[in-house]
Amino acid sequence: MQTLTLYDKLGGEKYIAKIVDDFYKYVLADKSINHLFANTDMEKQRRHQTAFISYALGGKKEYTGRSMEKAHAGLNIQPEHTDAVLKHLSNAMALHGLSQQEIDQVITQVSQLREAIEYK
């Protein structure tokens, strides 16, 4: 018997896209980090983030975007920026009914990227 991935449990990419939309509503309203997106094509960003999170949660379609290092180069992201992003991602997932255990699983997965994005 095959275990369902969190991607499958959540309902796939269309459902994750809804979480990502709410995530960016929180991010763009946050004055401590919204400046990091001042020159960003947000529609493109939403598509990339949806693909990335889908892949990170066990989706079958491989993420083909830029590496985390390249995507965050020159932004000088600090730990407090990452903390804010993770908080907003948690809140967006909670808004969509994910359990605390599921949220913790996602945050653990995404948190592993700190080294790749901070201080670049």
User: Over the stretch 51-73, which tens digit does the pLDDT of each residue have?
Assistant: 988 988 889 887 788 888 998 99
> In which band, very low, low, confident or very high, does the pLDDT at 75 lie, cut at 50, 70 and 90?
very high
Mean pLDDT of 40-50: 95
Top-confidence residue, 10 or 87: 87
CATH of the domain at 39: 1.10.490.10
> Which domain range does residue 75 map to?
6-117
**What's the whole-model pTM score?**
0.91
How many independent structural domains does the chain possess? 1
Reported as a pLDDT band with limits 50, 70 and 90, residue 119 is: very high
**91-112 burial string, b = 16+ CB within 10 Å, else e?**
ebbeebebeeebbeebeeebee
For residue 1, pLDDT beyond 80: no
Give the tokens for residue 24.
């960016």
